[in-house]
Structure 1
Amino acid sequence: ASGRAAPGRGGRQRSGSSGSAMAEAQDAPGRRGKRPGDEVEEPARHFDTKTTEPVSFFLSSLEELLSWKPDGNGDFNICTVPLAERQPPLHSKRPRTLVCHDMRGGYLEDRFIQGSATRNPYVFYHWRYIDIFVYFSHRTVTIPPVCWTNAAHRNGVLVLGTFITEWTDGEKLCEAFLAAGEEASRAVSEQLARIAQHYCFDGWLVNMENTLSAAAVKNLPPFLRHLTAQVHSAVPGGLVIWYDSVLQNGTLKWQNELNQDNRVFFDACDGLFTNYNWKEEHLERTRALAGPRQTDVYVGVDVFARGDVIGGGFDTNKSLRLIRQHGLSAAIFAPGWVYEHLGEENFLHNENKFWGLLAEYLPTHSICTLPLATSFSLGMGTSRFLDGKVEEAGPWYDLSAQDIQPLYSEHEGRLNTSCCLQDAWCGGSSLRLQGIIPAGEEHVAIRLFSLQMPAPPKLFLTLLYKLEGSNTEFAVALELTTWDSGTCHEGNVTSLPEPNSRHHPRFLPAPPPGLAKLLASCTRGSHGWTSRCYELELQDCSLRDLSLLVSRQQPSLQEMPFSCLLGEVRVLDAASVGAAPPQVQSLSASQLWWQEGPTAEQLSLSLTLRWAFPPGQAGWFRVFSQGVRCRQGQTPPQLLGLAHACLYRAVGLAVPRPAAGQSCRLELLVEPVLHDELPVDPQRWGRLVLIYSAPATGTSRDGH
């Protein structure tokens, strides 16, 4: 294939799923054929101007908001992880927990969509305890970086962006769209709803921290009603929440409660996020006024404890206790205090301590779909592991690669669940379980996940673990509990259920014939990791909890300490295990950008890969380069990175420089990683062959 790209668009070559394509250079994103060093034009906000890596972005003005329209260059910012189902659903009347993330202005290392080599980054992973995640910054339109939406959705949590106006500029902006009449305000609400729909996040926090004119404040409730209706229409389950700031007369005055001065805005949207300087009498009045909508009031808690507050920092539980006593929802603002105030070094320990202190007031959520498969990765690490060994050394950070997270249990010092970055089966971390089997007891059960779903007739379960420390006189296994029911039976109808609805799946030395994929995963323990497979047949049961059972090898009257790492846990519906996976289709390359290489014998190539794969079928994709050949021989496959959508931008790939009259061949591979994490035959991967040659005499070496 040959030919230049049209202005502003990268040309594209297509191949079959296992076919090949040849391509000449096209324009790099944001560069439109310019040489390195030339001024970068739009769409620069979608890509890092130095490297052309895709980045998350915001909108800085009303003009940018109104002129926004979908653009193929922004596809990297689209969340591809559907919002996972969980129980109870958000619309239940149980008090909710909102987390508002505000860290150093936002768009830090989390703006790099394909990850970065950040050491000791901030991560959030206590998703089981919260309902809503707000990404906050002081930009006019804060579009959440897609890595946060991917991680939150994988764990069943909604993500909101922020629409904020502040100071004198905020007054002018509000005058321009609120005081100008219904048509102008509707244009803004429709654009905000379109942006949430396009990038697949779940709505908006609206925060107007400036005085409003009489004309502007008159049109504010209709604007909120229209925005809420538009979001509900465009985003199933979407939300609009109003921050407690402006009063119905246009005055900027924080109330720290729901009252008659701000109720008109609460009535126009899905909820109110109150300011932080409240006392118990504010909560009493709020509850009385909210009536049946009391769980739509999110009482603000500033973890930095600025102003006259009940409690922040490690005393945040004091605020939560009062909020829950009055049946209200909570909005925890800036929990990054743990990272910013206490430092990076012991962050994971301090983070678990912070959320452990709050756990009593944070109702947990249950998973309600299979497969459930996780390697417990936090989306960061000091190395990247695969099959129990280091695949790539060095720090990395990519929240899109965060796995489904468990409950982080702690019981009076006798049991502790934490993250281990030093060793993992896959990704960047494993789950460390430490505790004591009490004197006279045979075992302890450590709850990993709360479940709420009908059990399929047959389950397969897999476990990868590693025993730690000098004491290895204990055994580990998986335990499933079911909800009490007179009809629930294990195995056939004549077998008796175990007491307390506890089920211990049968260990499979080898899985049944015909399940070759599962066979491979049952015998793959290595590097000190042990692999176990189990099966469990149930009739008319509903799953309740998945736990790790730690048992003594020998009876003893002494208490026994234990420590082990979990590398992977999977719960699979046996009926779906044997299904053939789809094939990666239509792999293509576009937006090629050539530069001088790191050595005189090399060139540096950046390009965008796109492909097709059925939505929702893959957890992520692994992208490789292989077989760079100019004369003879080839290099082994090299992992370029992980993709969480059907596109990936390879940046700065060092390839051999062809001699005059010579062609070189580069093969690119895309491996889908399925939700059940069972291996996919390489014949079903995407493959693309790129053939390139030295330019004709007189052609620039840079850019083309």
Structure 2
Amino acid sequence: MPLNGTNHSKLVLDDAPFFKTLAEFDEWADRMPQELSGVLPYRARRQSSPGSSSQGKLLLCHDYKGGYTESPSARSYTFNFWSFSHHRVTIPPSGWTTASHRQGVKMLGTILKFCVPMIVNISIFEGQDAEDCLRLLVGRLPQSKTGPLQTPAQRTIPVSSHYAKRLAQLARQRGFDGYLLNFECPLQGNIEQTRALSTWIALLEYELKREVGPHSEVIWYDSVIVDGRLRWQDRLNSVNLPFFLPSTGFFTNYTWPREFPSLTAQYFLSIDSQHLARSPPKTLQDIYVGVDVWGRGSHGGGGFGAYKAMDHIDPKFLGLSVALFGQAWSWETEQDKEGFTWETWWAHERKLWLGPVGPNDIVQIPEPPPGQPVCEHGPYTPVTSFFTRKPPPDPLDLTFYTSFSPGVGTAWFVEGAKVMDATASGWTDLHKTTSIGDLAWPHPAISSELGDWEETPPSVSPGICMYDAWMGGSSLRLDVTLPPSDDDSFHLIWIPIQSLSVTSQQSYDVNLVYKVPPHGPAEVDMGLSVKLFDDCDEEVEDVDVTSLPVEDRPSIGGWTHLAVRICVKSDTPRQTVAVGLIAGIAQEESSSNAKPLSLYLGQLTAFPSPPSDLSAISVPQLLWADYQMHDGAGVLTWDVAQSLPPIHGLSLTSLEDPQPAWVIDTNNRNFLYFNIYVQDGEASSESARASWFVGTSGLDGRGQRFFVDPACLPAQVGTSKKLRFTIEGVTDRGERLSRDRCVFVDVEHPT
């Protein structure tokens, strides 16, 4: 994805996105396929700020009306963090998992129980919902007649690890990081069943650690209490504590009065430390206080009043975390209004998260809900202001790549050339979501490289451009407005774009592709630089920045490449740096109505510097491609490899020579995705074959596979009896493979 055409088959999407019953889950799990190779594994962010370890976290819990029905051929609501749907077991779409892992954020699935309350004994439940409430604990039931050899003297509910194991295996197979447990149903087994449930939670947590890794999560939602009744507490207390202790986190309901967050913190601090000493020990950060953006009984009334609830949670100072529930409010409340577009939603979304763009951008704060006590709060505070900025994983752990994509677009570009015009509705693919430049929004904190501003400083406004891009569907547009001047003037402006966490004394290469449209209002000279984030408007001597030569290649559409090598000289193991532009702008005499200067950023990458010996650097390639018919369509598969440049002889001087005969760079390049093209296989020669874009890999979570939906094939090859498919790789350093490293496959095409 994106895919050419419209009305695509569901086979282009993830397999089995949810299970309505545990029996349905068992049937699928009996033939559980291999792990999805196209889902990016989780890499933790490295902590560079000592104080941030005691500050609260943010958990996004998405409740979208009607579930997730976004089409590959329409621009939809997108985000990078959390999913929530009303099925028994819900699996995050693979593209969402990759998008969140790219930023060092965990992605969780959900296990939900909405049981029908019935008066029955502890061993018999009626109805599918009630049956699954018990079945989760006792495991899969046999088909044969069976029973104990001797009736136990005291009968309690046995707890099986069957579903704990299978759910952990499911998380590993799909590449996500754990589960939210939402048991909004009375447990008719009362204390006996709730004790069994807490035991099962511990089993699930153990199996997830074993299958997924020590970073996995099991978060309990505030619902049933110790006697089995469904009683939301809106805080942590003694009647829900037994469910929190075997979990890794606790998510409170969102209808709490203003004093409950502090009561929760006080209660947590009163718990005997021996009960919290599991590895890792629990902290206040593991308690996520619920806030409903829809305002259903939530303090502040939701929407742009949700900040009032977060004021009381106080994640930066009190240390509690926030669980933001239903943040697609920004889309769902706007989508049916006249004139709604993706762009109008994006402005609405930005205001919620980043605040107004200027003094004339009014924030409509809702009135307090009826009956809620008066509570004084300051002016609107955007969501991001409550949390410390956290850069993506260190490029030493995960190559940093961005094409400044929010996961939607109206076209697709390959090295500046438009290869696909989408339908009027555009496309959506969370797999293609990358950072949009975290330091650029809502406005970058610019500074002058020439000292203090003499008069009014310039202003820089960011935007997402979907009509011109380098790789993918969009670029970051920066509109620079210069102050009016009676004379010619020169500005040298530092514009921070992206934060990165880096390891001190480690060398990194940073590459940027940018564009300055010709015939602009001023002459521009662009440079790429890196500064310490905490000191990014000061002259910094702790970062060595060296310009690197770039390959001289023909430019499509005026795009230009810059590259630098950086190294932070510091005794502190890790630092946060800001990657940005230094723009030299020569301004002629101008008036107050002069047009802004537009800069376009197409791609930014950062990775460990390769060795100086080029023969040590392996180069990725595709080996072969295959095509198999499948349900009237087809499936493309391929394999990838690495190859080394040739060497000319060995330089060993003796058997005791301490220098190795060769060295190998271990920082291999991986693939982001693959572009798929098709040609008329009946064309008379290679030069006569026009190549048509079909789509990209990634939508279904499979790394080296593409489902060829007939709807993706362009009309120009519709009557051809033979087709040639070409697979072209794009690496995580933003490199498009050359033709000698790509492959084709010829197929018979039934018409």
C-alpha distance 442-255 of structure 1, shift in aligned 2 (>3 A): same
Deviation of 1:454 (Å)? 3.1
Deviation of 1:503 (Å)? 5.7
CA distance in 2, matches of 1:567, 1:429: 7
The amino acid across from 2:217 in the alignment is L
Question: Corresponding residue for 1:678?
Answer: 735
CA distance in 1, matches of 2:181, 2:133: 12
CA distance in 2, matches of 1:416, 1:263: 48
Q: Does 1:95 align with 2:93?
A: no
Deviation of 1:648 (Å)? 0.9
C-alpha distance 281-385 of structure 1, shift in aligned 2 (>3 A): same
Q: Does 1:156 align with 2:104?
A: yes
Conserved 8 A contact 2:443-2:462: no
Conserved 8 A contact 2:675-2:727: yes
Question: Corresponding residue for 1:327?
Answer: 319
Q: Which of 37, 45, 59 is 2:19 aligned to? A: 59
Q: Does 1:391 align with 2:419?
A: yes
Q: Does 1:121 align with 2:76?
A: yes
Where do residues 187-586 of structure 1 align in structure 2 (5 Å cutoff)? 187-213=162-188, 214=190, 215-236=192-213, 237-291=215-269, 293-324=283-314, 325-343=317-335, 344-345=340-341, 346-356=344-354, 357-367=382-392, 368-369=394-395, 371-394=399-422, 395-407=426-438, 408-411=440-443, 414-436=459-481, 442-454=492-504, 456-457=506-507, 459-467=509-517, 471-482=521-532, 499-501=539-541, 505=545, 511=549, 518-520=550-552, 523-535=553-565, 544-553=577-586, 562-575=597-610, 578=614, 579-586=617-624
CA distance in 2, matches of 1:422, 1:50: 27
Conserved 8 A contact 2:492-2:582: no
The amino acid across from 1:629 in the alignment is E
Secondary structure of the structure 1 residue equivalent to 2:551: helix
Conserved 8 A contact 2:492-2:584: yes
The amino acid across from 2:540 in the alignment is N
Deviation of 1:308 (Å)? 4.4
Question: Corresponding residue for 2:690?
Answer: 636
Q: Does 1:170 align with 2:220?
A: no
Conserved 8 A contact 2:38-2:704: no
CA distance in 2, matches of 1:89, 1:107: 36
CA distance in 1, matches of 2:48, 2:161: 30
Percentage identity across paired residues of the two chains: 26
The number of residues matched between the two structures is 596
Q: Which of 703, 708, 715 is 1:650 aligned to? A: 708
Deviates more, 1:682-691 or 1:194-203: 682-691
Secondary structure of the structure 1 residue equivalent to 2:530: strand
Conserved 8 A contact 1:419-1:431: yes
C-alpha distance 123-640 of structure 1, shift in aligned 2 (>3 A): same
C-alpha distance 398-468 of structure 1, shift in aligned 2 (>3 A): farther
Question: Corresponding residue for 1:599?
Answer: none
Conserved 8 A contact 1:244-1:275: yes
CA distance in 2, matches of 1:75, 1:468: 51
Deviation of 1:348 (Å)? 1.2
Superposition RMSD in Å: 3.5
The amino acid across from 1:117 in the alignment is S
Deviation of 1:384 (Å)? 1.5
Give me the TM-score of the superposition, normalised by structure 2.
0.72
Q: Does 1:108 align with 2:79?
A: no
Question: Corresponding residue for 2:746?
Answer: 689
The amino acid across from 2:63 in the alignment is D
Secondary structure of the structure 1 residue equivalent to 2:260: helix
Q: How big is each residue's C-alpha offset from its partner over 1:552-584, in whole Å with a ceiling of 9 and x where there is no partner?
A: 425999999654221122334441695232332
CA distance in 1, matches of 2:685, 2:233: 74
CA distance in 2, matches of 1:369, 1:380: 25
Conserved 8 A contact 2:405-2:432: yes
Conserved 8 A contact 1:459-1:574: yes
Secondary structure of the structure 2 residue equivalent to 1:501: coil
Conserved 8 A contact 2:625-2:636: no
Considering fraction of residues, name the structure with more strand: 1
C-alpha distance 506-293 of structure 1, shift in aligned 2 (>3 A): closer
Deviation of 1:143 (Å)? 0.8
Conserved 8 A contact 2:416-2:556: yes
CA distance in 1, matches of 2:474, 2:402: 11
Conserved 8 A contact 1:618-1:674: yes
Where do residues 616-631 of structure 1 align in structure 2 (5 Å cutoff)? 617-629=670-682
Give me the TM-score of the superposition, normalised by structure 1.
0.76
The amino acid across from 1:649 in the alignment is F
CA distance in 1, matches of 2:230, 2:468: 52
Question: Corresponding residue for 2:724?
Answer: 667
Q: How big is each residue's C-alpha offset from its partner over 1:67-93, in whole Å with a ceiling of 9 and x where there is no partner?
A: 332757x66966521224423399944
Conserved 8 A contact 1:303-1:332: yes
The amino acid across from 1:619 in the alignment is L
C-alpha distance 384-152 of structure 1, shift in aligned 2 (>3 A): same
Question: Corresponding residue for 1:81?
Answer: 40
The amino acid across from 1:63 in the alignment is A
Conserved 8 A contact 1:417-1:432: yes
Conserved 8 A contact 2:669-2:731: no
C-alpha distance 100-194 of structure 1, shift in aligned 2 (>3 A): same
Residue segments in structure 1 that go unaligned for 5+ positions in a row: 1-47, 111-115, 128-132, 486-497, 512-517, 595-604, 659-663, 695-700
Conserved 8 A contact 1:613-1:646: no
Conserved 8 A contact 1:377-1:401: yes
Deviation of 1:249 (Å)? 0.7
Conserved 8 A contact 1:102-1:135: yes
C-alpha distance 420-479 of structure 1, shift in aligned 2 (>3 A): same
